[in-house]
Structure 1
Amino acid sequence: MIDGIYILANDVVYDQLVALLNSIEANAGRKIPICILPYNQRLDKVKAEIASRDNVSLFEDSDSIAYWDNFATQIWKNYPRAQRTWREWGFSELYELPMHRKFCAVDGPFDRFIYFDADTLLMGPVDYVYEQLDTSDWVVNDFQYKSDLKFIFDGSPEQMQQIFNSEKLQDKVFCAGWFATKKNIFPPAIRADLMGKLISGEADVMAFLAPDQSLFNYMVLRSGISYYNFAFHDCEQATGNHWSSKFDVVDNILFDQGRKLTYLHYMSVSSSAFVRLCGGEDVDIPYRDVFLYYRYLKSPEKRPQSFTRPSQITLLQKSTSSFIQQRVNNIKLKYRNFKDKINGY
């Protein structure tokens, strides 16, 4: 039985990847093999980093990558409402397609594995997660179930009841940035069955702000595999993990009311902010010193010793970029508030 960790990455998130790898090495409690799933071909820095670590490899199964790229393409291209909405938002017709390469993990070398988005930091041992996989097929540890269900599924109540046959669907959704499961959890027959159902119209229940997340939730719930969420089933002992929460810091480990976090997730913080910070710019990132500690754990001499404020021209450029991002956010907000109008109902 081989336990492992997968991370989706490329050179754009290199600084975050190094910090995550160092945090795993420092806090996992044992040496765990790690495999990097390629977001795309921008991998020069990633490959150099892999070469410096004897427990890290690159996922190179081109057949699996092609399969899951095609799997996601077929689903989203046959989902007219998503296509129409993405066009209205100015996005590509296959919005965030490379994020679906997370699915390649089920074809990889590890019998049991934990998947990490690159924008996370490990804070403590994860043996308890692997142990839970002895009795559960899919394991998560997050509070997505307390958020609006429309971030995951936004079909009509009648549609969702017919498809999932669950009165408590809200309690079962999860964030796809961190999860644990097993090799071949979706065998070919189940993949084909789910693909057929999605293309025949069931895709219409999925939200499309984070398409891979919606698809993961659909496949887990629709396939009927056993599911466990520490943050739901053991909520009294569960800790937060989102950067917006207030945590205590002790020796570069985060604690939530005295309990050590399993991981910190920088979800929605731009990767460019980390690049600028590591370049010596004075960027305000939550738990900045903790991130910098892990980023430069193996190369402390390279850590910026001082930070400078950007020039007025740079600030203006960033202000323009922020304005554009705000427009995108407004579009997403409009989608949530006026779903019926966007759907054409």
Structure 2
Amino acid sequence: MTVRRGVYFLANDYVLDRAIAFLNSFRAHHESLPLCLIPFADDIDDVLKLQSRFDFSVWSGDPAVLAACDDISRAFHGEVKGHYRKLAAWEGGYDEFVYVDTDTILLRDLSFAYDLLDTYGFVTTTSNVPANTKWVWQQSVRGTGVLTAEQIEYAAGTQFIASRKECLRFAEVLPRMDAALALSGHMALVTLEMPLLNYLMVTSGRPYTSLRVLAGAEGGGEPPPGDIPQERWAGDPIGPVRDGRLVTPGSPPVFLVHWAGMWWELERGDRVELPHGDLWSYYRWLGDAGGHLADLP
């Protein structure tokens, strides 16, 4: 069955705590918006114990699609990285969807993003930040002549993508893999799926943008004040937090906080604490979700 609008997230049991925090924040602001888990890997038994509490479905499309995502990962990395399963969102049951990474906390309703799909095929939160291009492309890509300067400079984060089902179907993605792999030596593959998704979006022929660009931001500065909600990276100051909300929300409104890279740093011992851990902990333990579920670690 096809549903007009919904949200996808990736998770497995390894990120169970992050999934609980994300799900609590999502349902705090979206009581009934359809939500669907795309399995990051096969180990999802503990995540599934959250299903009735948070009312999410599990991606149920053709298993060959997830297998193809894994094959694409092997082609770029020599091993399976579950991040490439984001591509399954375009083969799922939602006509219009938002994909959101699990290492995020939502601070308000994200439904505004669907209205932008009347004009754009792809909407991310951040793009066109010169300092961030290195996380998508190596400088050498400019000498290949394959991408325009505009396409390279888009360099969007892929932690949040709003799109329509028809914009990136596998039938058109798979024939483009040889061209994408030919550029792999010029990709910043440390960010895994991000370069490939950028390549696929900017060469799709569909219009693309970001909330940052729509807010009129230029260069590396903050977006100008306005009404278009924005993402904030948790490594930057976001202001005081109380009861899961920003005390002084300001303008533009912050609707999502993203801990990109920070969990890796914690696990490696490069970081001693999680920035804005009070915000994350509020949603991790909201209603003590998971604490009463049998057999959870």
Q: What is the match of residue 182 of structure 1?
A: 164
For residues 326-337 of structure 1, what are the structure 2 equivalents within 5 Å?
A: none
For residues 1-345 of structure 1, what are the structure 2 equivalents within 5 Å?
A: 2-28=4-30, 30-53=31-54, 55-61=55-61, 62-74=63-75, 76=76, 93-94=78-79, 97-143=81-127, 145-154=129-138, 155-159=140-144, 162-164=145-147, 166-199=148-181, 201-234=182-215, 235=217, 236=224, 237=226, 239-248=230-239, 249-254=241-246, 257-270=250-263, 284-299=273-288
User: Structure 1 pair 119/43, CA: closer, same or farther in 2 (3 Å)?
Assistant: same
- 1:300 & 1:44 partners in 2: Cα distance? 16
- 2:27 & 2:232 partners in 1: Cα distance? 19
- 1:271 & 1:17 partners in 2: Cα distance? 16
Contact 2:230 2:256 in 1 (8 A): no
Task: Say which SS state the counterpart of residue 6 (structure 2) adopts.
Answer: strand
The CA deviation at 1:177 is 1.3
- 2:256 & 2:112 partners in 1: Cα distance? 13
Contact 1:206 1:218 in 2 (8 A): no
Q: Which moved more, 1:207-216 or 1:253-262?
A: 253-262
4+ residue segments displaced more than 4 Å: 271-274, 300-303
Contact 1:240 1:256 in 2 (8 A): no
Contact 1:136 1:227 in 2 (8 A): yes
Q: Pick the structure with greater CA Rg.
A: 1
Q: Could you list the runs of 5+ residues in structure 2 that have no partner in the other structure?
A: 218-223, 293-297
The CA deviation at 1:51 is 3.3
- 2:235 & 2:195 partners in 1: Cα distance? 23
2:183 maps to amino acid: E
Q: What is the match of residue 329 of structure 1?
A: none
The CA deviation at 1:294 is 1.1
- 2:5 & 2:109 partners in 1: Cα distance? 13
- 2:289 & 2:88 partners in 1: Cα distance? 34
Aligned residues: 272
Q: Could you list the runs of 5+ residues in structure 1 that have no partner in the other structure?
A: 77-82, 84-92, 275-282, 304-345
- 1:192 & 1:43 partners in 2: Cα distance? 27
Contact 1:33 1:56 in 2 (8 A): yes
Q: TM-score, normalised by structure 1?
A: 0.71
User: Structure 1 pair 116/219, CA: closer, same or farther in 2 (3 Å)?
Assistant: same
- 1:118 & 1:300 partners in 2: Cα distance? 16
The CA deviation at 1:115 is 0.9
User: Structure 1 pair 175/301, CA: closer, same or farther in 2 (3 Å)?
Assistant: closer
1:244 maps to amino acid: G
Taking every aligned residue pair, what percent have the same amino acid on both sides? 22
The CA deviation at 1:271 is 6.7
- 1:197 & 1:290 partners in 2: Cα distance? 42
